[in-house]
């Protein structure tokens, strides 16, 4: 398997005490370099998303508001809030545009058969950003920009978005609600932010709500009963992952109990769907994960699985 890794030096900026900070990607890059995994991946720099790409999923008035906030923040020499706990300034908005553009570039690489799959090591995350509002650390909806790129540029008619994260992907649901071409499978901790689509979801959304303290065993049941029948019936021509690692038991944000090996299993689930229906085409996009060492360990295993390299270190919870 040929796996592309998309990132950018700009994601190392905005070093502050916010949970979504550059240490997340610095820890990952250190681990990949120490293991030599970075030399086995095809590495590309993210490119800024164009206005056209952003307007495919966000309202023009919303993009203008973000630009005004970023300019005001720089004039006042401080970060402002685009939404509660979602800081913005010019550097953050530049990084967000690169993050969204990075996913669009990953789609280009996969659709042009320059790689089998791609992982976007990007920040800030994006799956909470709705069509006209920022939320939950997210300014632009990165994976939505990628989905729009696949549909508008390459004529992809059926897309699957598998979102495994501590939090539901409200932004992606808001943008693609009731769109029959986009099937969204979302796992998350029940009754935790953002709350919007947990009780009643659009017809193209398959929720897998987990109670605090639950882990992958319960998710396996929901996948078998709810996700897989819908995925097989949808026959996606391209598979996207919103890959959040904050459901890990070591993450400080939530109360789910995933282990390292569970993310490998989820990766193989998605690869299987892509193998059967999408000519192996898969784009994975980093979302949550706020314990840098744990995040780096799990993403490295995720990349091993994407590249078909096997397990190179013993994941937590597996026998040695």
Give the HSE-up count for residue 246: Cα atoms under 13 Å, Cβ half-sphere: 22
For the beta carbon of residue 280, count every other beta carbon within 10 angstroms.
17
**Could you tell me the sign of the dihedral formed by the alpha carbons of 59, 239, 289, 89, in that order?**
negative
Peptide bond into 194 cis (omega under 30): yes
CA distances from 256 to 12, 26, 90, 136 (A): 28, 25, 34, 18
d(CA 147, CA 176): 10
User: In this structure, are residues 216 and 265 in contact, taking their beta carbons and an 8 Å threshold?
Assistant: yes
* The pairing of beta strand 182-189 with beta strand 80-83: unpaired
293 Ramachandran zone, left/alpha/beta (phi>0; psi -120 to 50): alpha
Residues 144/172, Cβ–Cβ less than 8 Å: yes
- Give yes or no for a contact between 281 and 237, defined as CB atoms under 8 angstroms apart: yes
CA distance linking residue 130 with residue 27, whole number of Å? 29
Beta strand segments in 75-215, E: 80-83, 86-88, 117-120, 159-164, 182-189, 205-210
In contact, 149 and 104? CB cutoff 8 Å: yes
Q: Is 128 a catalytic residue?
A: yes
Q: Out of 128, 167, 234, 277, which one is annotated catalytic?
A: 128
Would you please indicate which residues are annotated as catalytic (active-site) residues?
Answer: 128
């Amino acid at each position: 398997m040929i796996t592309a890794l998309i990132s950018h030096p700009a994601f190392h900026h905005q070093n502050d005490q916010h949970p979504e900070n550059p240490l997340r990607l610095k820890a990952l890059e250190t681990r990949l370099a120490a293991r030599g995994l970075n030399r086995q991946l095809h590495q590309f720099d993210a490119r800024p998303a164009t206005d056209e790409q952003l307007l495919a999923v966000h309202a023009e008035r919303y993009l203008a508001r973000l630009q005004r906030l970023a300019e005001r923040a720089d004039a006042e020499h401080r970060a402002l809030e685009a939404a509660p706990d979602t800081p913005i300034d010019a550097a953050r908005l530049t990084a967000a545009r690169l993050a969204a553009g990075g996913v669009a570039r990953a789609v280009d690489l996969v659709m042009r058969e320059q790689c089998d799959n791609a992982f976007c090591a990007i920040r800030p995350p994006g799956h909470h950003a709705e069509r006209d509002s920022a939320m939950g650390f997210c300014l632009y909806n990165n994976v939505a920009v990628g989905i729009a790129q696949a549909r508008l540029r390459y004529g992809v008619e059926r897309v699957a978005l598998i979102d495994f994260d501590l939090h539901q992907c409200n932004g992606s649901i808001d943008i693609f609600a009731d769109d029959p071409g986009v099937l969204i499978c979302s796992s998350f901790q029940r009754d935790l932010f953002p709350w919007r689509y947990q009780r009643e979801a659009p017809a193209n959304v398959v929720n897998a709500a987990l109670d605090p303290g639950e882990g992958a065993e319960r998710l396996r049941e929901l996948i078998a009963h709810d996700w897989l029948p819908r995925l097989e019936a949808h026959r996606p021509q391209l598979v996207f992952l919103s890959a959040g690692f904050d459901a890990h038991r070591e993450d400080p944000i939530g109360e789910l109990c995933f282990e390292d090996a569970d993310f490998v299993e989820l990766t193989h689930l998605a690869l299987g769907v892509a193998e059967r229906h999408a000519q192996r085409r898969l784009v994975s996009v980093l979302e949550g994960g706020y314990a840098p060492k744990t995040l780096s360990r799990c993403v490295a295993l995720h990349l091993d699985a994407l590249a078909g390299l096997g397990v190179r270190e013993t994941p937590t919870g597996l026998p040695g």
